[in-house]
Amino acid sequence: MLKLWGRLNSINVLKVVLALEEIGLDYERTDAGLSYGVNNTPEYRAMNPNGLVPTIDDDGFVLWESNAIVRYLCAVHAAGRLWPEDPRVRADADRWMDWQTTTLNSLMVPSFAGLVRTPPEKRNAEAIETSRSKTDAAVGLLDAKLEGQDYIAGGSYSMADIALAPIMHRWLNMPVERSRYENVARWYANVMARPVSSKVLTLPIT
């Protein structure tokens, strides 16, 4: 059975859980990372030298990097559904997945870590505000992308929505001031209406 290592309050682990659940694969998940440890053991480092989560082992094939894992699982098990067959639609999905990791997440980390994982007396208010306003502006780009379409890569739910759902769930539930982006709000409501999302994206933001 496919094995997954990673804690459920990691957006990168949640992407993989969403993909596995949408596909309907059997898997065994082990908590790892932060207070759970595991990711610093020699055994784990032998699989993932970064010592980060998530990592999967699919019948001896070990893979890390959450977007690579989501792409792999969707290509193998859900081509034409979660993994777009059309190269241009797939490239569009890939682009927004990469944007999530390289742009959106990088902008959001200081406000998320500051507000959610740092005690009030140790917070850097300026760094939090810079992160908040830049993240809010970046979400505006996603809002523009979603104009006139239901999902990120077009008319149907795909791996791009899987990769964006956990970070947007986090952002939209963080205690920060946000612009009201109507297309993002509609997309998020559609995503959360899916039985799998409402089952997976339920934990408090920690």
Ligand X SMILES: N[C@@H](CCC(=O)N[C@@H](CS)C(=O)NCC(=O)O)C(=O)O
Residues near ligand X (CB under 6 A) are: 10-12, 33-34, 39, 52-54, 65-67, 101
CB nearer ligand X, residue 14 or residue 196: 14
Please report, for residues 18, 149, 171, the alpha-carbon distance to residue 13 in angstroms, rounded to integers and kept in the order given.
9, 27, 16
Residue 80 carries which side chain, given as an amino acid letter?
Answer: G
CB nearer ligand X, residue 149 or residue 202: 202
Task: Please identify the residue of the shown chain whose CB is closest to the bound ligand X.
Answer: 33
CB nearer ligand X, residue 117 or residue 186: 117
DSSP conformation class of 52 = -
Output the smallest distance, CB 182 to ligand X, in A: 29
**Closest by Cα among 163, 145, 143, 162 to 154:** 145
CB nearer ligand X, residue 13 or residue 196: 13
Output the smallest distance, CB 174 to ligand X, in A: 15
Output the smallest distance, CB 122 to ligand X, in A: 19
Q: How many Å is the Cα radius of gyration of the chain?
A: 17
Output the smallest distance, CB 15 to ligand X, in A: 8
Tokens 């759970």 map to which residue? Answer: 36
CB nearer ligand X, residue 54 or residue 84: 54
Output the smallest distance, CB 185 to ligand X, in A: 25
| Backbone φ, ψ for residue 56 (5° rounding) | -120, 155
For the residues of 7-24, what is the DSSP string, one character each? -TT-HHHHHHHHHHHHHT
